[in-house]
Chains A and B, each alone.
Chain A
Amino acid sequence: MSDVTDDAKLLSDAENSPTTAPETPEPLKPQVTRTLWGDAWYRLRRNKLALVALTWLLIVIVAAVTADLWVIPLYGPPNYINTQTAAADRLEPPSIHHPMGTDDLGRDVFSRVVYGARISLTVGVAAVLVSVVIGLLLGALSGYYGKFVDTTIMRIADIFLAFPYILFAILLLSVLPPSERGMFPVIVTIGVLGWPSIARVFRSSILSVKEADYVEAGRAVGASDARLMARHILPNAVAPIIVYATMSIGGAILTEAALSFLGLGVQADPVKAPNAVSWGRMISDGQNYLMSNPGLIVWPGLAILTTVLAFTLLGDGVRDALDVKMKD
């Protein structure tokens, strides 16, 4: 139990007890009432690992967003091949000019890694958002209405889940010609593959919240179905989704990397998006230099590893932060 809760209780005691008794220990300071979300944030801040993860992600995001301002001037563009210097500059080891060295076409690896974050993060977050939107809707219908609606939706979800994930993605994307494989199709593909899990988690969350006394109490005072859903069920059922979604972002990033490794990832238009790079593609390009210049694979690999790990740890932290208060 947090200090706040105890103080709050003492405050109530002090103010409610009749005057004959000597005072209870004085409350220390004016109360800051925290909502459950506020309490969760407070707990999250105390979790060192989650904070580290969060900080790292913020660094990556800021770096990627502001890349145009500092990366190119300092280290050169990620994609542009300077035909004159390429041969001389290729496959250089890390140095001040090139903190991660250069690749086989003379391009600065660091610059490519930073720009690669854009695609990975965008696809990761957007795809999960798609999954969440579909999953929340279908999960809610399933959980709340039950019976036929529930059975139908869940069987469809089962069918989706029965397909091998990556194979399905490959299938969907390989149907499109390379010129059509922008961010959008990739996001939609990964997103559409992810909805069943979210729907299931949300559905079970709804099922358990639905039975809670406070929902019955709402019904007893005359609340309509819509009101029950909006004010009572949804706010309390949504917490597990936050955890699941956060951790799924890591999975989505990995899928995108795998797809671009296979050549099916985001194919950016060289004219409209000259700086578009993908970590997965970097790894695929660097395969031939595994022995001689492992950096070409290691740096993008580390980027993927740390980012995915950060999302997972953050998700863990969020779950712990929300979990304790769930029980109260």
Chain B
Amino acid sequence: MAEHKLLEVTDLRMHFFTRDGVVKAVDGVSYDLDRGETLGVVGESGSGKSVSAMTLMRLIPMPPGKIVGGEAMFRGNSLLTMSDRDMRDIRGNEIAMIFQDPMTSLNPVYRIGKQLGEPLRLHKGMNKKQAQERAVELLDLVGIPHASSRVKDYPHQFSGGMRQRVMIAMALANDPDILIADEPTTALDVTIQAQIIELMEELQQRTGAAIIMITHDLGVVADMADRILVMYAGRAVEYGTVDEVFYRPMHPYTWGLMDSLPRHDMTEKGELCPIKGQPPSLIHVPAGCSFHPRCPYAKERCRIEEPPLRAVEGSHLAACHFAGDSDFSRDELECAGVSA
């Protein structure tokens, strides 16, 4: 019997049913995750990258949200259909999540030690003393100096970078198998970001946890990820190893993203080639391929038929009708220039 992958997500779809219409927040997301692996989920705002992770954790209010399709198997068990109680056992325990804004993710009226201890007491049944001791260990693990005295401090006494370390400590408290990090470094300064990334890599080596790193920053995933999932308008449009996606991208959106990135290590100034137009509203997703209005290669078929996420080269998947065709390649197109 084939061993279960740690996490298998297949064609996940979750829509919000609102008075203004159906928001197709997640509309076809598939990926796998192995132990110790880091998956980078990249996309711009509105791509659904954060929402899909929250859906996995069953943190989306239902209603107005509703899972309309797909599956998510964690060690062979369905995350979407298991009971609330089983899900609560997993959250903070086997699957942990850290959020973007460390300023607001911590409760300002409780001491850090107490907040760190919460997942420990909940899931591991530790008493107050044991939890406090473990909390100090964890603070030490994430590189907070003078851990034994700082454990009694309140969140406002920590800086942004420190708070994010505390969040990571909280997430790792119960030795989770999967750590979901939703834009963990976006709100931090660049030098602090580097510290946090280094910390996460180190901790991953030590604990063997798998990481799902959600970000809009392609530089961060180039650094950390083993595999990459590119999302657009709620759908997965490309999926492959980090080298495959960066050096042999298959989907025109990925091409567009790569072309619009400035890099600071270049010795000549390249031209920035932006993708024309705006990302679509998730209530009025374009028919057929959701990227077609902005795609310089779009044909009639793209307006009508939604391309499935299919294998183009081994385990490298792309959701484009023409990906992998011998005559379909990235043209040296004239840049769209400045138009909106």
Contacts and interface: CB of A to CB of B under 8 A. Distances in A.
Interface of A: 1-3, 6, 9-10, 12-13, 16-18, 20-25
Given A2-B20, A9-B281, A18 B293 contact: no
A21 B293 contact: yes
B303 A22 contact: yes
Given A1-B281, A1-B283, A21-B294, 10 more contacts: A10-B281, A10-B284, A13-B277, A16-B277, A16-B339, A21-B292, A21-B295, A21-B296, A22-B300, A25-B284
Interface string B259-297: 000000000000000001110010110110000111110
Contacts of B82: none
A3 B21 contact: yes
Contact of B278 (A13, A20, A25): A13
Contacts, number: 55
21 contacts: A1-B283, A3-B20, A3-B21, A6-B20, A6-B283, A10-B281, A12-B278, A13-B340, A16-B277, A16-B340, A17-B293, A17-B340, A18-B336, A21-B277, A21-B296, A22-B293, A22-B302, A24-B277, A24-B286, A25-B284, A25-B287
B218 interface: no
Contacts of B295: 21
Contacts of B337: 18
Contacts of A12: 278, 340
A16 B336 CA distance: 12
The range of chain B's interface size is 20 to 34
A-B pairs, top 9 by smallest CB distance, nearest first, are A16-B340, A24-B293, A6-B281, A17-B277, A21-B293, A17-B276, A18-B339, A22-B303, A13-B277
Interface of B: 20-21, 276-278, 281, 283-284, 286-287, 292-296, 298, 300, 302-303, 336-337, 339-340
B277 A9 contact: no
A17 to B, nearest CB: 5
B336 to A, nearest CB: 6
B226 to A, nearest CB: 34
Contacts of B277: 13, 16-17, 21, 24
A23 B294 CA distance: 10
Contacts of A2: 20
Interface centre among B287, B293, B340 (most CB of A within 10 A): B293
Contact of B298 (A3, A9, A10, A21): A21
Contact of A25 (B286, B298, B339): B286
A18 B334 CA distance: 12
Contacts of B21: 3
B19 to A, nearest CB: 8
A5 to B, nearest CB: 8
B298 to A, nearest CB: 6
A13 B21 CA distance: 20
Contacts of B340: 12-13, 16-17
Nearest to A15: B340
Nearest to A14: B293
A3 B340 CA distance: 21
Contacts of B281: 1, 6, 9-10
Contacts of B276: 17-18, 21
Given A1-B20, A18-B276, A22-B298, A13 B283 contact: no
Nearest to B296: A20
B292 A22 contact: yes
Nearest to A12: B340
A204 B139 CA distance: 40
Contacts of B293: 13, 17, 21-24
Contacts of B302: 22
Contacts of B298: 21-22
Contacts of A25: 284, 286-287
A9 B278 contact: yes
A17 B284 CA distance: 17
Contacts of B20: 1-3, 6
A16 B277 CA distance: 8
